């Protein structure tokens, strides 16, 4: 099969190369992939900074894909050959075939294209888990979502609106604010020209109940200032760095009784992912089928254009997801 392949010896260059199709275990399905999502994590993997879990090839990126089941293992009852699925993968999803535990796949609603389906698993699984398992967002609660125009951010925004959050705040660059408002954002903050903590202080004097943070260190002090008493911060990414200034105080964690939670989806045990995906098949899939949630695809590229597609994501122009399409 053809697979996107990182050449670590050549500065992380990307090309399509021939690779062996992985064997199908008794719990697995083999997917003839039609579309593969690109995630910011793939950019890190390419630079050798985000290696996949053991047993997953480091040189083939891809945390999600959509396609047709073409083979099932002897113990699989969830899917049959010919069914349309989208799957959460520990890696190697940017290839013509992907082999994955059947429990990590979800059925694709009929109205969704392959590109739309491939834009769902990683962003929505991450956002759902962060909002409802970790932040325990309640109807009416206020929330601040950083990088709200990212794949994960656009998913968190839609899920927060659907869950009946109170005011939803989000940081992103100016060009993305209008599109975020169409998805339910109450108030967008252009982080290039505004200190978000000032905007939140003016509009929510008690602070926000929940922050979904993809940025990390550079936002830490403003985040802590913005949280209400009893507030919850879920840290999902470190786009703004990992090191806090030496004089950083943690007193407000105590005085405001804050909960700070960090979480990563990819490195979790299979049984933990299986539980999450079972829940998503029950809760999220009907919402996509009923068109109450929609995958946000910014742009698609042919698989052969993979280097350009990665450059586009790196340039931060995308609102929502960028997807590779396979012939």
Ligand X SMILES: NC(=O)c1ccc[n+]([C@@H]2O[C@H](COP(=O)([O-])OP(=O)(O)OC[C@H]3O[C@@H](n4cnc5c(N)ncnc54)[C@H](OP(=O)(O)O)[C@@H]3O)[C@@H](O)[C@H]2O)c1
Contacting positions for ligand X (CB under 6 A): 39-41, 122-123, 126, 147, 149-152, 172-173, 176, 214-215, 236-237, 239-240, 263-265, 313, 316, 318
Output the smallest distance, CB 177 to ligand X, in A: 9
Output the smallest distance, CB 49 to ligand X, in A: 10
Output the smallest distance, CB 310 to ligand X, in A: 10
DSSP 277-295: HHHHHHHHHHHHHTTSS--
Contact between 245 and 218 under an 8 Å Cβ cutoff? The reply is no
Output the smallest distance, CB 262 to ligand X, in A: 8
The closest residue (CB) to ligand X is: 237
Output the smallest distance, CB 265 to ligand X, in A: 3
Q: Give the residue with the Cβ less far from ligand X, 123 or 185.
A: 123
Q: Give the residue with the Cβ less far from ligand X, 87 or 152.
A: 152
Q: Give the residue with the Cβ less far from ligand X, 163 or 261.
A: 261
Output the smallest distance, CB 291 to ligand X, in A: 22
Beta carbons within 10 angstroms of residue 268's beta carbon = 16
Q: Give the residue with the Cβ less far from ligand X, 257 or 275.
A: 275
Residues 24 and 71: their CA atoms lie apart, in Å, by 8
Candidates 233, 191, 187; CA nearest to 209 is 233
Contact between 22 and 81 under an 8 Å Cβ cutoff? The reply is no
Beta carbons within 10 angstroms of residue 73's beta carbon = 16
Q: Give the residue with the Cβ less far from ligand X, 63 or 69.
A: 63
Candidates 101, 109, 115, 110; CA nearest to 276 is 101
β pairing state of 187-190 and 105-107? unpaired
Beta carbons within 10 angstroms of residue 209's beta carbon = 23
Q: Give the residue with the Cβ less far from ligand X, 19 or 150.
A: 150
- Long-range contact set of residues 76-79: C-beta below 8 Å, sequence gap at least 24: 76/26, 76/27, 76/28, 76/29, 76/102, 78/102, 78/103, 78/105, 79/29, 79/105, 79/107
Q: Give the residue with the Cβ less far from ligand X, 39 or 222.
A: 39
Output the smallest distance, CB 240 to ligand X, in A: 5
Contact between 106 and 31 under an 8 Å Cβ cutoff? The reply is no
């Amino acid at each position: 099969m053809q697979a996107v392949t990182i050449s670590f010896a050549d500065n992380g260059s990307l090309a399509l190369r021939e690779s062996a199709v992985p064997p199908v275990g008794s719990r697995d399905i083999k997917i003839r992939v039609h579309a593969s999502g690109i995630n910011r994590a793939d950019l890190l993997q390419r630079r050798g900074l985000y290696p996949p879990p053991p047993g997953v090839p480091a040189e083939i990126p891809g945390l999600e894909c959509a396609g047709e089941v073409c083979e099932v293992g002897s113990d699989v009852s969830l899917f049959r050959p010919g069914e349309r699925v989208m799957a959460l993968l520990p890696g190697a999803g940017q290839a013509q075939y992907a082999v994955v535990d059947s429990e990590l796949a979800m059925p694709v609603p009929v109205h969704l294209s392959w590109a739309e389906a491939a834009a769902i698993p990683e962003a929505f699984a991450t956002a759902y888990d962060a909002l409802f398992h970790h932040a325990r967002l309640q109807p009416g609660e206020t929330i601040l979502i950083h990088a709200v125009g990212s794949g994960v951010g656009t998913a968190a925004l839609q899920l927060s609106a659907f869950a009946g959050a109170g005011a939803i705040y989000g940081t992103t660059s100016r060009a993305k604010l209008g599109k975020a408002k169409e998805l339910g954002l109450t108030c967008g903050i252009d982080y290039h020209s505004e200190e978000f903590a000032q905007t939140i202080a003016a509009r929510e004097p008690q602070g926000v109940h929940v922050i979904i943070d993809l940025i990390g260190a550079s936002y830490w002090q403003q985040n802590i200032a913005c949280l209400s008493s009893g507030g919850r911060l879920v840290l999902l990414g470190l786009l703004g760095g990992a090191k806090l200034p030496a004089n950083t105080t943690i007193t407000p964690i105590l005085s405001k009784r804050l909960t700070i939670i960090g979480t990563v989806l990819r490195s979790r045990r299979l049984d933990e992912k299986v539980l999450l995906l079972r829940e998503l098949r029950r809760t999220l899939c009907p919402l996509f089928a009923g068109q109450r949630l929609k995958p946000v695809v910014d742009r698609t590229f042919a698989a052969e254009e993979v280097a350009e597609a990665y450059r586009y994501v790196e340039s931060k122009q995308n609102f929502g997801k960028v997807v590779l399409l396979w012939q």
